[in-house]
A and B are shown apart, each in its own frame.
Chain A
Amino acid sequence: MVKFNRFKLDNGLRVIVHEDNTTPMAVLNILYDVGARDEDPDQTGFAHLFEHLMFGGSVNIPHYDGPLQRVGGENNAFTSNDITNYYITLPSTNLETAFWLESDRMLSLAFSEKSLEVQRNVVIEEFKQRYLNQPYGDVWLRLRPLVYKNHPYQWATIGKTIKHIEDAKIEDVKAFFKKHYNPQNAIMVVGGNVKTEEVKRLAEKWFGPIPAGEKYNRNLPQEAPQQEERREIVTAKVPLNDVYIAFQMEGRMDKSYHIIELMSDILSRGNSSRLYKSLVKDKPLFSEVHAYITGSMDKGMFVLEGKPLEGISIEQAEASLWQELEKIKTEEVPADELTKVKNKTESTMVFSEMSLLDKAMNLANYELMGDAEELNHETEKFLAVTSAQIKEEANKLFRKENSSTLIYLAEGVEEPKEVVTD
């Protein structure tokens, strides 16, 4: 149970306070309701590049990090296809510094051409490090456009290509800020050793004067139901073959979400899960196999992934995955097995309350979905799932015409040249 208080400033900023006096620290988390899905198809990677620029100085504060480190604080941020989230942890006695820094960069940025130039390079190196210079690193660059033909989920947060990042202009970046970074599009959670009244005072003082800005009305092209089986085969310099099968599923707010999440747990959570037991241990056909969901706000993905063992053909590997899916489509999950994944979910919720930052991020996320209080009803929703519902959803999801299969065929790898010495 995560208790909280909630209020809204006149400019539309939503504020949630979670008092937890077991820690000497405080967290200030700001979620901006903007992600890669809000980008122009010809300017992808922008939300993420922008996140980098948020550290390049704001209108009254030339350097963001230094003043925070000086008071014993740390910060970071991440961008997803749905949201951009910034967080600070610091000794609670220095909470006001966090308000000062975060309110100034919500008010107005002041990064320079130089800062844009450098962050473009940093993001290009990030692109290389995470997506291009790793075996299988480009999987999301390939799988997303296979699954999404219309919706902006067809590109990854890093962007479609390095070119889009290279081409980013300072005026585009400014326009992006104006459109998305204002109090109406943000949710702030303050947690830890704090008092609601004090948070109210600080919020009014530092965020109150920021103009409300224009409300961004999201109107994205939605993805039509998939009608045909899709497939892409890549021959790549990777050491092993790899199979991905992605299915479209409804978005995070749909009532099927909790059912499908438990279904992915039954298939793949832990060493007692079906795919691991059957395909890694008993048969064995794979060295590793996973199932997971993206949990996206709009239409999401249910993904199966596995690396077949040497000597196992792609056909055999795919067939064995489908066999497990057929099983969950035709037979109801036994009561014990369902209880198992429910128990695991329940204890995970309890353990997640050990982390202040997790609690703060969760509150922000549920508030974005409509109501932070729903965080405290999440476990009930999982406990209410029945075997019949799982079977029903499995039948809706696991159809060939709802599948996108991506195969990596290993063409061998580059062996490094022998060690050269100076």
Chain B
Amino acid sequence: MSILNRKLAPGFNGVDNINLIRPQQTKLANGCNIFSFNSGDQDLVRIEWVFNNLRFNPKKPLLNVAVNTMLTEGTSKLNAAQIADKIDFYGAFLQVDYSYDNSQVTLYTLTKYLKTTLDVVKDVITDSIFPEKELETYVRNQQQKLQVSMQKNDFVARRVFNKALFGETIYGLGAEPEDFKSLTREDMLAHFKLMYQPSNCTIIIAGKADPEILEAVNQAFEGAWGDVTSPADISQPELEPSAERFFYSEKVDALQSAIRMGMPFITRTHPDFSALQVLNTALGGYFGSRLMANIREDKGYTYGIGSGMTAFKQTGAFFIASEVGADVCKLAVKEIEKEINLLKENLIDEKELSLVKNYMLGSLLGSLENVFSHADKFKNLYFANLDYDYYDRYTQTIKTITAPELQALANKYWNFADFYKVIVGKY
């Protein structure tokens, strides 16, 4: 028997093929699109109802989020307690989620209870009434939650940053306590009727999406529902980036400072997007990234630092974020600048680049854990108006991009002096 050589890494294989499951599509006569991903392994299903948010109104900034959050708070037939009782009794989970572009309702249920739980969801989506008493509770509790969040430096930094990049838009919104007070039941009902209508609805089914299940969903959501008066206006106001680029909120007692910096950025539809994801990963997109290696693992200034690219329908953002010791905040900012400039001035060496590439491909493969993940990948594409070619191009770009191309991108897109910079704490 040969002696084990522990210094030598075992051989390894690259990731060749990523097989994405594509959905079956049906379109109901009322305009509602249904996409389903069938994997019959377990007797459970996840169903999502996704709606485009309505055009942002700066005078009533919270309507999109408040309407979504309060969908489970009462319908003509069921009050909030009854909705909760029914869903919980059948061991199901009913969630509402708000994001900048869409609002959604998600049901997780064992298929044996689908019919009953689906009835509740239908009621919620087609007949919510936003009772006055529940609205009062919502406003009161949200105001209290906001008070707590406003004491968290990273939360404040994110708000200031978004406001700076996107201004008075759905992407830049940072709610104030008085904004909650301006919510009225009438406004919410009107918003609900316009937004939660069939032609603005996409249903995504994942799990045991067999013909019987599909039929049940079709039956529940076909025909006319809601009380449609006009098409949903899902356009959004122009972005208004701030002219000011440096924001510092001083907190004299802070032990740590939150740092957030970056700028408005390209979206998923831009041809450079995938290549920039490689560059971003090298900078701050994984545990071994340059920001982590320098600012956490070499200097010990922070518990964590990272960079990221977020892609919305109308815009994107590139950001770097961390919470660092208050006494080393200035030093940390300098090191961030240094890392950005290193990527502009020098080529990434081959060893690092191949590591980043392998990591990203493995990470993509690992992100496809189950049928729900395949549905999530589809959502990324569908709501950005992209096709499955996107993931082919993405893997192709990762495999073929070169160090000079990445250096050129760093120079094309990054200029540290122009970054929006937000510090909350001490600087």
Contact of B253 among A67, A307, A414, A421 (CB under 8 A): A414
Contacts of A219 in B (CB 8 A): none
- For residue B249, CB closer than 8 A to chain A, the reply is yes
Chain A residues contacting B323 (CB-CB under 8 Å) are 125, 129, 133
User: Are A117 and B300 in touch, CB under 8 angstroms?
Assistant: yes
Residue B288 CB within 8 A of the other chain: yes
CA distance A209 to B4 in the complex (A): 9
Partner of B355, one of A66, A288, A421: A66
Cβ of A339 and Cβ of B89 under 8 Å apart? Answer: yes
A72 touches B362 (CB 8 A): yes
| B145 at interface, CB cutoff 8 A | yes
B132 in the interface (beta carbon within 8 A): no
Question: Is B84 a contact partner of A135 (Cβ separation < 8 A)?
Answer: no
> Chain B residues with Cβ under 8 A from A60's Cβ?
6-7
- The segment out of B10-18, B192-200, B380-388, B401-409 that lies at the interface is B10-18
**Interface centre among A65, A119, A126, by most B CB within 10 Å?**
A65
Known: A132-B255, A133-B255, A272-B81. A120 touches B287 (CB 8 A): no
Digitize B227-262: 1 where CB-to-A-CB distance is under 8 Å, 0 elsewhere.
000000000000000001011111111111000000
Does A336 sit within 8 A of B, measured CB to CB? Answer: yes
Q: Using Cβ atoms and an 8 Å threshold, which residues of chain A touch B80?
A: 271, 281
Taking a contact as CB atoms closer than 8 A, the residue among A23, A71, A119 that contacts B362 in the complex is A71
User: Which single member of A97, A117, A206, A269 contacts B9 (CB below 8 Å)?
Assistant: A97
Interface assignment of B140: CB less than 8 Å from any CB of chain A: yes
Residue B92 at the chain A interface, CB threshold 8 Å = yes
If A125-B301, A277-B81, A287-B144 touch, whether A72 touches B363 (CB-CB below 8 Å) is yes
Distance in angstroms between the alpha carbons of A91 and B12 in the assembled complex: 10
Of A100, A132, A416, the contact of B6 (CB 8 Å cutoff): A100
List of A residues within 8 angstroms of B89 by Cβ: 272, 336, 339-340, 343
Determine how close the nearest CB of chain B comes to the CB of A361; give it in whole angstroms.
14
Q: A74-B366, A91-B365 are in contact. Are A416 and B424 (CB under 8 A)?
A: yes
Interface residues of B in 277-297 (CB under 8 A from A): 286-288, 296-297
Q: Name the distance in Å between A408's Cβ and chain B's nearest Cβ.
A: 11
Least Cβ–Cβ distance between B348 and chain A, in angstroms: 14
A124 to chain B, nearest CB (A): 8
Interface flag for B396 (CB, 8 Å): no
* Known A24-B365, A97-B10, A128-B325: A239·B148 in contact at CB below 8 Å: yes
- Contact between B145 and A135, CB atoms less than 8 A apart: no
Residue B341 lies at the interface, judged by CB distance under 8 Å to chain A: no
Binds B, one of A31-39, A325-333, A346-354: A346-354
**Distance of A75 Cα from B366 Cα, bound (Å):** 12
Tell me whether B390 is interfacial, beta carbon within 8 Å: no
Contact A70 B252 (CB under 8 A): no
A-contact bits for B304-331, CB 8 A (1 contact / 0 none): 0000000000000000000111000000
**A217 interface hit (Cβ, 8 Å):** no
Return the contact of B41 from the options A22, A124, A418 (Cβ within 8 A).
A22
A169 at the interface (CB under 8 A from B): no
Residue from the set A238, A272, A277, A420 with the largest chain B CB neighbour count within 10 Å: A272
Q: Enumerate chain A residues within 8 angstroms of B130, measured Cβ to Cβ.
A: none
Query: How far is the CB of B70 from the nearest CB of chain A, in Å?
Result: 12
Say yes or no: is B213 at the interface (Cβ < 8 Å to chain A): no
Cβ–Cβ contact B84 & A70, under 8 A = no
* Interface residue? A344 (CB, 8 A): yes
A271 / chain B contacts, CB cutoff of 8 Å:
72, 80-81, 83-84, 88
Shortest Cβ distance from residue B131 to the other chain A in the assembled complex, whole angstroms? 11
Q: Which of A275-302 contact B (CB under 8 A)?
A: 277, 280-281, 284, 287-288
Asked whether A91 and B13 contact (CB < 8 A) given A121-B300, A309-B144, A347-B92, the answer is yes
Report how far A135 CA is from B144 CA in the complex, Å: 13
Stretch at the interface among B47-55, B149-157, B168-176, B180-188: B149-157
Bound form: Cα–Cα A25–B369 in Å: 8
Tell me which residues across on chain B come within 8 A of A107, comparing CB atoms. 6
User: Which B residues lie within 8 Å of A99 (CB)?
Assistant: 10
- A25-B369, A97-B10, A355-B369 are contacts. A120–B144 as well, Cβ < 8 Å? no
Report the bound CA distance from A67 to B362 in whole Å: 13
Q: Which of A10-37 contact B (CB under 8 A)?
A: 22-25
A353 to B41, CA, bound (A): 11
A353 to B42, CA, bound (A): 9
Chain A, Cβ-Cβ closest to B7: A60
Those of B126-158 within 8 Å (CB) of chain A:
137, 140-141, 144-145, 147-148, 150-153, 156
> Separation in Å of the B40 CB from the closest CB of chain A?
11
B37 CB-CB contact with A under 8 Å = no
A70 with B355, Cβ < 8 A, contacts A205-B4, A354-B370 known: yes
Interface of chain B: mostly helix, strand, loop or mixed: mixed
Contacts of A72 in B (CB 8 A): 14-15, 358-359, 361-363, 365-366
Q: Does A417 contact B (CB under 8 A)?
A: yes
Shortest distance between the CB of B411 and any CB in chain A (Å): 24
Kindly state the separation between the CA atoms of A69 and B281 in the bound complex, as whole angstroms. Answer: 12
Residues 345-377 of A contacting B (Cβ, < 8 Å): 345-348, 350-351, 353-356
Min Cβ gap A249→B in Å is 24
Cβ–Cβ contact B362 & A90, under 8 A: yes
Distance between A280 CB and nearest chain B CB, rounded to angstroms: 7
CA distance A117 to B145 in the complex (A): 38
A280 and B141 contact, Cβ closer than 8 Å, known pairs A73-B362, A129-B256, A272-B84: yes
Least CB distance, A112 to chain B, in whole angstroms: 12
CB <8 Å contact, B42 and A61 = no
List the B residue with the shortest CB-CB distance to A345: B91
By a CB distance below 8 angstroms, the chain B residues around A123 are 303
Assess the A287–B297 pair: CB atoms within 8 A.
Answer: no
**If the complex has contacts A100-B10, A129-B303, are A351 and B108 also in contact, measured as CB distance less than 8 A?**
yes
Interface pair A354/B42, CB less than 8 Å apart: yes
Interface residues in B1-48 by Cβ distance below 8 A to A read 4, 6-7, 9-15, 39, 41-44
B97 part of interface (Cβ distance < 8 Å) = no
A252 CB → nearest B CB, Å: 23
Do residues B369 and A91 form an inter-chain contact, with CB atoms below 8 A? no
A150 at the interface (CB under 8 A from B): no
Q: Which residues of B contact A125 (CB under 8 A)?
A: 256, 300-303, 323-325
What is the CA–CA distance of A188 and B288 in the complex, to the nearest angstrom? 25
- Does B65 sit at the interface, judged by CB under 8 A? no
The reply on B298 being an interface residue by CB < 8 A is: yes
The answer to whether A104 has its CB under 8 Å from any CB of chain B is: yes
Residue contacts A-B, CB under 8 angstroms, 22 given = A22-B39, A25-B365, A71-B12, A74-B287, A94-B10, A103-B6, A121-B301, A122-B302, A122-B303, A136-B148, A206-B4, A240-B148, A271-B81, A272-B85, A272-B87, A288-B145, A343-B91, A344-B88, A348-B91, A355-B369, A414-B252, A417-B252
New contact pairs (19) apart from A69-B288, A125-B301, CB-CB < 8 Å: A22-B39, A25-B369, A71-B12, A71-B362, A90-B366, A93-B12, A118-B298, A125-B302, A239-B147, A240-B148, A281-B81, A309-B144, A343-B90, A347-B44, A350-B42, A354-B44, A417-B250, A417-B251, A419-B160
Q: B-contacting residues of A (Cβ < 8 Å)? A: 22-25, 59-61, 65-67, 69-75, 89-91, 93-94, 96-97, 99-100, 103-104, 107, 117-126, 128-130, 132-136, 205-206, 209, 237-240, 269-272, 277, 280-281, 284, 287-288, 307, 309-310, 336, 339-341, 343-348, 350-351, 353-356, 413-414, 416-422
